[in-house]
Chain A
Amino acid sequence: MTMTIDPQATELMKNAGITPRSELVAAIEADVNKIYYGDFLAVRDSHIAIEKGKITGFIGPSGCGKSTVLRSLNRMNDLIPIFRLEGSVTFLGQDIYAPNIDPVLVRRNIGMVFQQPNPFSMSIFENVAFGLRLNRYKGNVADKVEQSLRRAGLWEEVKDKLKQNGLSLSGGQQQRLCIARAIATDPTVLLMDEPCSALDPIATRVVEELMLELKEDYTVAIVTHNMQQAQRVADTTAFFSVDISKGGRTGFLVETGPTKELFSNPKQELTRNYLAGEFS
């Protein structure tokens, strides 16, 4: 889905006061002042841009709010009644927390892969076709399912048992099925929360290669605990940490930058200490 917008259209859009998509660098721009769960301040002062056509990695110690921030990028946190966000998240220029925005449509454009594999209790084929049917896909569903399974590195393993229940697969296969399901609908942005934590090294490599391939067309944000993985796949890395000074355990963004730079020459003391700890 590479956007090739012809110059004339771009000109027209500009005159109409619309910023053409191709000129926006960030697919998602999150300006988080505060995120609360009830009274608990989970994350504060984090400004993050998920750049188009790139992979942005979120790293940091457990409990620093990586998942929380990631899940607020497609309004998954709406499911948690005590969740409250102060700030804004814009997706291609629109504030997704604005009152006139339909969160269902937000999630159809910003897909998600969860830390725990969560296929539906239906056939492997129907799992992948699920989003296509939901979006009333006009093309050939079977072709799209095969293509998605291939990209997720699962096709060879399941091509003879597409009718079997998705839950009958192994944990790692289930996770790749979930990835296939998420990419089948061609979401503009794909959010992945530790997608490889259930995978063996070979499957992890497959998924990493998939991500690198995906970023040609999509935008990816990935939470990972694996520093090597962040270095292998992420163009930009955001490092979060926990602030325990004021009694609470509030997460915040320490620094963000091009991955190579962040790992080789971190600007912040906190980052340096964390990386030193991770690699020692």
Chain B
Amino acid sequence: MTDTAPALEIRDVTKSYGAMRAIENVNLTVNKGEMVALIGPSGSGKSTLLRCATGLVVADESSGPITIFGDKVQEGGKLSAKVRRARSRVGFIFQQFNLVRRISLYKNVLLGALGRMPTLKGAMGSFSTEDRRKAMEALERVGVKDHAGKRASDLSGGQQQRGAIARAMVQGAEAIFADEPIASLDPVSARRVMRLLRDLNQEDGITVVVTLHQVDYAMKYCDRAVALKAGQVIYDGPIGGLGRDRLIEIYGDEYRDVIDEEGVPA
């Protein structure tokens, strides 16, 4: 069952803040091994959708189930008892990196192992040699091994974001959900991070769902696009299907001027 289950399945999920619906009746299936770009204008509900997917946000009572590799995250406005197991299978990357700033990058990466450790062992910080090895390897792979001993707060944004990806690797994540992972980065770091995500997808078979507000990055690195507008999915298909008219539909009339000035991103 688990083997054939999709990486992420979302059924009829709605999330309201007061009277405002951040996402409404969203259905989405992401299969294993896919690399999906989640696009849409600011406030269209991208973050909300991704956060619902790991149970960082609890959806409305009317919502259907959300599962990750067949493990239920939430349903009907309640987190599932298995949510921690589901979370441990997904690495979550944040725009602001969300590393613990006062501890070393290495420790931060090790924290990826917490999900599969007994609580008390985790709280006392008795990580296994295997986990430590994984942490050093992951740091090496993302290219920040030299900074392993530094406090997270002493590193650049790009280095921190790569550390966050290393943490997902220590986690043994089978999928990575990344919410605007490059929005706070300079172009060089942004490119590194996106390439890293693509490598993980192509070489390790890790499923990637990434929200992006730069359409060009989406086109360059992803195969499939899901577009949200005002909380609803208005496009779900191959990335190549995002033509001029689609983009104007997604981003609104004013986007016409952007395209006219800069051309359709390729």
The answer to whether A and B come from one shared complex is no
Q: Which residues of A approach B to under 8 Å, CB–CB?
A: none
Q: Which residues of B approach A to under 8 Å, CB–CB?
A: none
